[in-house]
């Protein structure tokens, strides 16, 4: 029998309320032991709220005035008896109540242990457990919507359908193995190969969504680079909607880099404002410029910022050249001032350059177009795509790829007329591989890895 676990489920710090969550067979006994209902109840109905005090059985002192609810199995988050105590939010209060809960027989939960139990008790599959973690770390509303879709089981349902088709293929092969000595030819190789092709096409369609899923889940990084004074910090502030970086008319204002996360059409973008590129005047500036090249090398997108009210200079050309290997956008700032920059000169130094985007970081002109351009550069399209399911987790993507590989191998064996045992072996492995996504086949090591990323109390 499982033991009973307990944890503070709300984040540390002062809050309106703080919740202690308890799961396991002793939940009801713990309630009876440390809680005194104001109405004198001594038994608690499932899914009802009771008001009263947490009292230390040892000293008789009141620790907190609380609301408790008991959720009797299997109708609870973990599928076990769950007790939730709504305390006043505050570190000492919660620690004191938790100490009483422990004394009454619960052990402190490991990170993710509640969700792990929900998985082990078949309340949710593994992809849904991962979705719960993704919900808590979602960076934009789009990322959240994706996690909710996983939690609702949209991807799991699709994967289970494919798993059923793979079982069909395996069944056909097993029949062939069983009846190889018979005269009747049960096995139809081209039929099975066709089925495998169909499954692999479906898997390919699902795997294709990964790039988009990953960027919405994990986000991308964009670096703003340019000469001093072109308006890099002004652009960061404009995109962020607040005066985060210092802006002055003195070239060389920004020395260190500044990073902030912004939401561009649902994409979480870590945007970095950097020091202006020029021949450094001192060691501080030299270090700052060194960091620009480092940041540029790591970035997913480089925003090359030019000053439209000035001539093109050799530093501008160098930056454009250095950004060539990267996904980059050339942006011309200060469109509110008289134009001095010659676009033809730009085309001459870099004929393959996409048309630049004109903006005014100071007044906001062109910012929506810039956001569209960043979005399009990452996702290769500007319109919003809504897949019925989307893969955002690298573990799922690897499992899908491995499955495809094994199925292709099985198909080759079939078409080369090898004994059906060979292909059956690969199909069985493929089945295991696809089953890893929802947790139909799983090993403890993977479970440990997944649930250790959760917070305690989840």
Ligand X SMILES: Nc1nc2c(ncn2[C@@H]2O[C@H](COP(=O)(O)OP(=O)(O)OP(=O)(O)O)[C@@H](O)[C@H]2O)c(=O)[nH]1
Alpha-carbon distance 3 to 178, whole Å? 46
Alpha-carbon distance 121 to 73, whole Å? 10
Count of residues interacting with ligand X (CB under 6 A): 24
Which of ligand X, Mg ion, none does residue 85 bind to, with CB < 5 to 8 Å depending on kind? none
Our finding on whether 356 is near ligand X (CB under 6 A) is no
Let me know: does 302 contact 225? Beta carbons within 8 Å: yes
Task: Tell me the backbone φ, ψ of residue 256, rounded to 5 degrees.
Answer: -90, 165
- Report the residue from 139, 232, 397, 404 that binds ligand X according to the rule CB under 6 A: 232
Q: Which is nearer to ligand X, 73 or 362 (CB)?
A: 362
In whole angstroms, the minimum distance from the beta carbon of 135 to Mg ion comes to: 36
Alpha-carbon distance 190 to 201, whole Å? 16
Let me know: does 102 contact 33? Beta carbons within 8 Å: no
In 3D, which of 268, 270, 266, 232 has the Cα closest to residue 251? Answer: 232
Q: Which is nearer to Mg ion, 121 or 253 (CB)?
A: 253
Our finding on whether 334 is near ligand X (CB under 6 A) is yes
Our finding on whether 253 is near ligand X (CB under 6 A) is yes
Alpha-carbon distance 129 to 117, whole Å? 10
Strand 220-226 and strand 301-307: the pairing is: parallel
Alpha-carbon distance 225 to 296, whole Å? 8
Our finding on whether 361 is near ligand X (CB under 6 A) is yes
Which of ligand X, Mg ion, none does residue 270 bind to, with CB < 5 to 8 Å depending on kind? none
> CA 342 → CA 81, 132, 345, 351, distances in Å?
72, 52, 5, 14
Residue sitting closest to ligand X (CB): 276
In whole angstroms, the minimum distance from the beta carbon of 234 to ligand X comes to: 3
| Contacts to Mg ion by CB under 5 A | 232-233, 253-254
Q: Which stretch binds ligand X (CB under 6 A): 85-93, 113-121, 231-239, 412-420?
A: 231-239
Residue 254-273 contact track with ligand X, rule CB under 6 A, x = bound: x-------------------
Which of Mg ion, ligand X, none does residue 150 bind to, with CB < 5 to 8 Å depending on kind? none
Alpha-carbon distance 44 to 42, whole Å? 7
Q: Which stretch binds ligand X (CB under 6 A): 190-198, 360-368, 390-398, 407-415?
A: 360-368
Long-range CB contacts for residues 454-457, cutoff 8 Å, separation at least 24: 454/111, 454/112, 454/115, 454/132, 454/133, 455/111, 455/112, 455/136, 456/7, 456/8, 456/108, 456/109, 456/110, 456/111, 457/7, 457/8, 457/9, 457/10, 457/21, 457/109, 457/114
In whole angstroms, the minimum distance from the beta carbon of 214 to ligand X comes to: 31
- Per-residue tokens: 370: 């810039």
Our finding on whether 333 is near ligand X (CB under 6 A) is yes
Our finding on whether 276 is near ligand X (CB under 6 A) is yes
Q: Which is nearer to ligand X, 232 or 322 (CB)?
A: 232
In whole angstroms, the minimum distance from the beta carbon of 346 to ligand X comes to: 18
Q: For 209-313, where are the alpha helices, taking DSSP H only?
A: 210-218, 232-240, 283-298
Our finding on whether 27 is near ligand X (CB under 6 A) is no
Our finding on whether 231 is near ligand X (CB under 6 A) is yes
Q: Which stretch binds ligand X (CB under 6 A): 175-183, 224-232, 349-357, 441-449?
A: 224-232
Our finding on whether 76 is near ligand X (CB under 6 A) is no
- Report the residue from 115, 225, 234, 392 that binds ligand X according to the rule CB under 6 A: 234
3-state secondary structure of 58: coil
Which of Mg ion, ligand X, none does residue 112 bind to, with CB < 5 to 8 Å depending on kind? none
Q: Where on the chain is the footprint of ligand X (CB under 6 A)?
A: 226, 228-234, 247-249, 251-254, 275-276, 333-334, 336-337, 360-362
């Amino acid at each position: 029998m499982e033991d009973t676990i307990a944890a503070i489920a709300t984040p540390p710090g002062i809050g309106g309320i703080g919740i202690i969550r308890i799961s396991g067979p002793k939940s009801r006994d713990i309630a009876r032991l440390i809680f005194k209902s104001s109405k004198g109840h001594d038994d608690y109905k499932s899914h009802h709220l009771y008001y009263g005090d947490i009292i230390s059985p040892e000293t008789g002192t009141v620790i907190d005035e609380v609301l408790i609810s008991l959720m009797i199995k299997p109708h609870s988050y973990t599928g076990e008896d769950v007790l939730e105590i709504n305390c006043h939010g505050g570190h000492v209060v919660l620690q004191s109540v938790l100490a009483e809960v422990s004394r009454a027989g619960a052990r402190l939960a490991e990170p993710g242990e509640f969700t792990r139990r929900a998985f082990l008790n078949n309340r949710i599959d593994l992809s849904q457990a991962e979705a719960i973690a993704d919900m808590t770390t979602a960076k934009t509303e789009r990322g959240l919507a994706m996690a909710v879709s996983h939690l609702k089981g949209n991807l799991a349902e699709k994967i289970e359908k494919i798993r059923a088709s793979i079982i069909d293929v395996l069944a056909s092969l097993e029949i062939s193995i069983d009846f190889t000595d018979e005269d009747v030819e049960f096995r139809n190789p081209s039929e099975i190969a066709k089925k495998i092709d169909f499954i692999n096409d479906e898997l390919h369609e699902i795997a294709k969504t990964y790039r988009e899923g990953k960027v919405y889940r994990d986000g991308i990084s964009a670096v703003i680079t340019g000469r001093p004074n072109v308006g890099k910090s002004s652009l960061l502030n404009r995109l962020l909607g607040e005066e985060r970086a210092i802006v002055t008319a003195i070239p060389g204002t920004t020395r260190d880099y500044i990073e902030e996360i912004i939401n561009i059409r649902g994409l979480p973008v870590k945007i970095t404002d950097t020091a202006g590129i020029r021949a450094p005047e001192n060691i501080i500036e030299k270090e700052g410029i060194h960091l620009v090249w480092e940041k540029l090398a790591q970035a997913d997108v480089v925003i090359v910022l030019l000053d439209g009210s000035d001539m093109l200079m050799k530093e501008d050309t160098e930056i454009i050249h250095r950004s060539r290997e990267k996904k980059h956008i050339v942006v011309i700032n200060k469109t509110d001032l008289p134009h001095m920059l010659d676009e033809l000169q730009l085309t001459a130094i870099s004929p393959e350059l996409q048309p630049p985007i004109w903006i005014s970081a100071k007044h906001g002109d062109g910012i929506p177009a810039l956001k569209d351009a960043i979005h399009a550069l990452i996702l290769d399209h500007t319109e919003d795509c809504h897949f019925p399911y989307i893969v955002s987790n690298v573990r799922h993507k690897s499992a899908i790829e491995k499955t495809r590989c094994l199925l292709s191998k099985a198909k080759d064996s079939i078409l080369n007329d090898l004994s059906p045992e060979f292909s059956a072996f690969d199909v069985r492995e493929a089945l295991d591989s696809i089953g890893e996504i929802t947790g139909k086949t799983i090993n403890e090591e993977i479970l440990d890895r997944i649930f250790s990323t959760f917070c305690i109390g989840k």
